[in-house]
Structure 1
Amino acid sequence: MENSHINENNRTQVQPVLKSKLEEFRLLGVDSVTEQGLWEYLIKKKWKKVKHEMRLYEMIQEILSVKVSDYLNYVTIESYKTTEFSLDNEEELKELLK
């Protein structure tokens, strides 16, 4: 991860909100989300272009507004970015490029 995000200072203050959001995810059947994964989503996706330290109420509002589908889309795209395809198999390459 990058050095340190602008909002990293407030992470301990919003930790109960993160836990609440994780519990909501679990109630909706998504058990694989971790607190660190949710925090990385917020930093890399939701707060990517934030140039100033957000106020506490703004951070809480952003955390509570995270939708399960948005998070899962982010995780899927990130996994595609990190997956290495085997280019040795010409059949697989042709199938991908159809």
Structure 2
Amino acid sequence: MDPFQLPSIAEHKAAILDLCRAKIEEFKLLGYDRVEFDEFWSYIESKVRFGIQLHELVELILSVRITDYMNYLTVNAYRQMEGGLGDPPRS
């Protein structure tokens, strides 16, 4: 879900995007130079639930651990491969 569809979050779009860039910069300081904004934002969107509040989105971005993000990328890479993991299980 795109959190910017919610009016309470849309009005803070610039600050949220800056926060994402700061988190990516943190990962780069830790030696992960290939973190791309679009992939990071896709990860954030995958974690957003409907009706998320601004403070919850900020906490989500700030609490991303590099291991969780890398696991997300790995699973997505397998899904994109022919014969990979396929569709995620439905809950």
Quote the RMSD (CA, aligned, Å).
Answer: 1.6
Letter in 2 for 1:43: E
Distance 1:36 1:11 in 2: 15
Match for 2:29: what amino acid? L
In structure 2, give the amino acid aligned to 1:72.
M
Deviations 1:14-46 (A, max 9, x none): 0111111011100111111111111100111x2
Q: How does 1:16-95 map to 2 (within 5 A)?
A: 16-44=18-46, 46-47=47-48, 50-55=49-54, 57-85=55-83
TM-score (norm 1): 0.70
Structure 1 pair 40–11 and aligned structure 2 pair: CA distance change class (3 A): farther
Structure 1 or 2, whichever has the larger Rg, is: 1
What is the Cα deviation at residue 84 of structure 1? 1.3
Q: Distance in 2 between matches of 1:60 and 1:33?
A: 19
Aligned length in residues: 77
Q: What TM-score does the superposition give when structure 2 sets the normalisation length?
A: 0.75
Q: Which runs of at least 4 in structure 1 moved beyond 3 Å after TM superposition? A: none
Structure 1 unaligned residues grouped into runs of 5+: 86-98
Q: Where does structure 2 lack aligned partners over 5 or more consecutive residues?
A: 5-9, 84-91
What residue is the counterpart of 1:90 in the other structure? none
Q: Percent identity?
A: 31
Measured in 1, the distance between the counterparts of 2:44 and 2:13 equals 11
